[in-house]
Amino acid sequence: MNPKIIATDFMASLKNYIRNKGSLFFSIAFPVILILLFGAIFSGGGGGSYDLYVKNFDYKNGEFIASMMNESIPGNFTNFYDALYAQLNSTGIIKIKIINDKDASNEKELEDYVQSKKLKSVMVIPENYGMKLGMAMANENASLALNITLMLDQSETQRNSIIISVISQFMGQSNLMIAGGQNFMRFNTSNIIQEKFDYIDFFVPGVIALTVMTNSVFGVIESNTKFRKKGMLRKLLTTPFTRGEWIMAKMLFMLFMSFVSTFVIIIVGMVVWNLNVHFNVYMFVIITSASFAFAGMGMIVTRFVKDEETAPAAANIITFPMMFLAGIFFPLEVMPSFLQVVAKFMPLYYVGEGLRDAMIFGDASGALMNSLVIFIFAAVVFAIGVAVTSWKEK
């Protein structure tokens, strides 16, 4: 192969692409608009109340604390903790949810429960808290009291500040009622080390997969049918330009556009939606394999499409079912079970899942498996596409 000839054709394709405003819009502007639109719909924050899970290792001492506080507890409560939960619920900002002993009977089980349920805020009342609080009140020595711990997901900054503000205000009022201002009731905070994934984290890799597919399929079908109609393919037979060089030049251009679109989408996601992306070898392998796979599918379809006018319809036959059934816009779990089976026969599904594993979740094993699937598919389909591509007119 002659690199100079390949580079010349590559530059010709690039200039033609830049002059085509429609191609520019659908390959770059359209996916960006999708990200902004869906991100605004599904990634916006909301108001209302916040769930605060409570694990109380000291509930049995609640009546002891109530007897010590006497008239300080508002309402008809004989258990201090019941009064505490009622007061926090009455704020309308915090909604208390109790973690039972069967779910977490000790600190290790509590940690596992928090991780498994992906809880964002947990209040932990330590064992003997009531006894220590009673001793502090009896001796008027606040240092004898234990701390209540707030476990907070460190990625939820706004949520955490609201919960801390409510708890701080509540404890300040409680301390004033107990002993004229001494801090018998105190709390500290700890982080819940747990990755947080929003809809936009799911959506952006899907849009990248969708863009790679549409650019490759539409690009190959459109260019091949246009060149055939104008007789350019037949004329290329009279030049030193070989079929292999022509296919390589077109494929390099498709791959270049795939990476351009990918990085534009990622930059928009990072700037607008604070997307956190992992750049690794799997991401590049998947995008490269996907570009070759869908280009190969385009070459196969082109073999049977003779008219330039029918090319978009032929491309849509390939792209539309995968666009809506391969888990690009919504997770497969929300689809009927038979559609989930159908989706797993579509190459776009493995591209989208592989990019999520590689870019967002950091799941090396999942990224490797999806990379292998799409790489093998690309090798087979692209080889068939090259074999059936012909410059001769029938």
pLDDT score at 303: 78
pLDDT in tens, 37-72: 777 766 544 445 788 999 999 988 778 777 766 556
Q: Which one, of 384, 392, 394, lies nearest residue 233 by Cα?
A: 392
Domain boundaries, the chain: 3-43+198-388, 50-192
pLDDT in tens, 249-272: 888 888 898 898 899 889 988 888
pLDDT in tens, 133-155: 778 777 777 788 888 999 988 77
Least confident of 166-180, 214-228, 338-352: 166-180
Residues 6+ apart with CB under 8 A from 350: 370, 373, 374, 377
pLDDT score at 363: 82
Whole-angstrom Cα distance, residue 20 to residue 360?
Answer: 33
Residues 6+ apart with CB under 8 A from 257: 17, 27, 215, 219
Q: pLDDT tier at 380 (50, 70, 90 boundaries)?
A: very high
pLDDT in tens, 169-190: 777 766 666 655 555 555 566 6
Least confident of 91-100, 159-168, 209-218, 256-265: 159-168
pTM: 0.59
pLDDT score at 154: 77
Asked whether the predicted pLDDT for residue 340 surpasses 70, the reply is yes
Least confident of 117-126, 287-296, 331-340, 354-363: 331-340
